[in-house]
Structure 1
């Protein structure tokens, strides 16, 4: 059973002119849950349900938790999502609107995740927000679609939090014979766990994460995302919160799409494409989406501190 929808890949005249190469947008923000997360989460939930799962448990205060709640409702499986105290009322309401039980526990995702693990019993399956092969297999479907929608690009641009999207993109490139396509992995300064992993040669845990791109706020990236750097050409790019917010504003102005700073970071990465991939003639940006933003919030962020 497929829970996600096929999404369009459109050429952006505005961003193509800005970057000096053909830029396409893979618009994952129009998934029923507002983000790419439904691809992997939906796939994992469907597979595990087929194997007899009686309940899904997850730990996420945002897009992954919402996707698990949606998938559970569609499959008729009860869902419990443990969220940290920092989770917005909007996110909790969205998760609850799908019929999921929402439990608030701890001041960080790590604490919420530990509590979620303690809730598991014999009939429950844990749905990780980013670190599981079923998730990557599901996320890879966006590259399967892309292979039917446009010519092979020279690179893919995607944001990196825990690395689930990056791992899915990498898996998709490999299974479609596109191993020569580069990846620009974009993070914000307060969430750069992937850049740290590349520097150290292994996943490392950041002492803390900070900033507005909360959906990128994993203190340690998954191992598969790092392994892919040995199989594919992946370049890391780290930028500021202000640049990520401007990316959101630019996407809204150009294509009427409202997304989180976690997604805006990839749009902001446009200006570094030539530096990292000087010979590239075409690029696809994964518009990963995100429901944790309103137009009013974006305006406040644009005004800066005290705005």
Structure 2
């Protein structure tokens, strides 16, 4: 199954009033930030979670059993938030390595939190079993059509908020966000996926011609730690000629600190990768190229900022 721009437009109508239209900040004549870190629960993920739950509600498949999700943190926060807003229970499976601030926040959203395994893939396997046993609705972190369509609403916002741009830099883990953005605006602007060198799911998929399992680790693994690019993302990036660039750990740390010191944006490591691409030269814009950087997540411990 593929996701279309019409699916994204329908998602925008469906979730209108449930998510924030996050602001943009022009930081230089040819550089603009999309401040999606100001979204509910600190990341772009509620867009997809609300579209998944509201679609299920329309179809009668959102029941009193509620929802189950697996996450490194942000997708779980989004699913728990959307479930609470719609009055159904949420059970969230996270790796044992999930950051303490994210786990704590999940509990404040009344979610039943289960920590299992050392990475996202293990938490997801446990979540699937829990769904089969309970009959709850599974909310995938990135590879469901409703989730991708919801994330793509960010792309529609960009078209309304920014008067012309050439390139959008998007962080990639499992690929739900870049799949949605590429589908929404890939025929109007260049979309570049940015990944840590230690979690190159998109990069390897493009090299191999299909999604493949990769080893993941590093500072950004809590939010960009999917072991394999989603199939929906692969179809979207291939259809829209998306390219991938990689950034190393030092570049991520430097960009995260720059975002804090220069712009007072406290972001998680996974959200800093897009700025790291510019700061390190992993992506070099052409002369007068208008670049839009998606800053997608704020769930971090501020005490770790230098």
- Give the TM-score normalised by the residue count of structure 2: 0.88
The equivalent position to 1:86 in structure 2, one of 97, 104, 107, is 97
Aligned partners of 1:260 and 1:152: how far apart in 2?
28
1:272 to partner: Cα distance: 6.5
In the other structure, the counterpart of 2:24 is 9
In the other structure, the counterpart of 2:255 is 247
* Contact 1:26 1:285 (8 Å CA) reproduced: yes
* Contact 2:245 2:283 (8 Å CA) reproduced: no
1:201 to partner: Cα distance: 0.8
In the other structure, the counterpart of 1:135 is 147
Check 1:273–1:166 CA distance in 2 against 1; reply closer, same or farther (3 A cut): farther
For the aligned residue pairs, the C-alpha RMSD in angstroms reads 1.8
Residue 212 of structure 2 is aligned to residue 212 of structure 1: no
Residue 107 of structure 2 is aligned to residue 72 of structure 1: no
Aligned partners of 1:275 and 1:88: how far apart in 2?
29
Aligned partners of 1:229 and 1:46: how far apart in 2?
26
In the other structure, the counterpart of 1:303 is none
1:66 to partner: Cα distance: 0.5
Residue 304 of structure 2 is aligned to residue 297 of structure 1: yes
Aligned partners of 2:90 and 2:283: how far apart in 1?
45
Residue 163 of structure 2 is aligned to residue 155 of structure 1: no
* Structure 2: tracts of 5 or more residues without a match: 1-13
In the other structure, the counterpart of 1:268 is 276
Aligned partners of 2:157 and 2:99: how far apart in 1?
33
The one-character-per-residue Cα deviations of 1:64-95 (angstroms, maximum 9, x if unpaired) are 00111100100001100011211232221111
* Structure 1: tracts of 5 or more residues without a match: 17-21, 300-307
In the other structure, the counterpart of 1:49 is 57
1:37 to partner: Cα distance: 0.7
* Contact 2:48 2:149 (8 Å CA) reproduced: yes
In the other structure, the counterpart of 1:304 is none
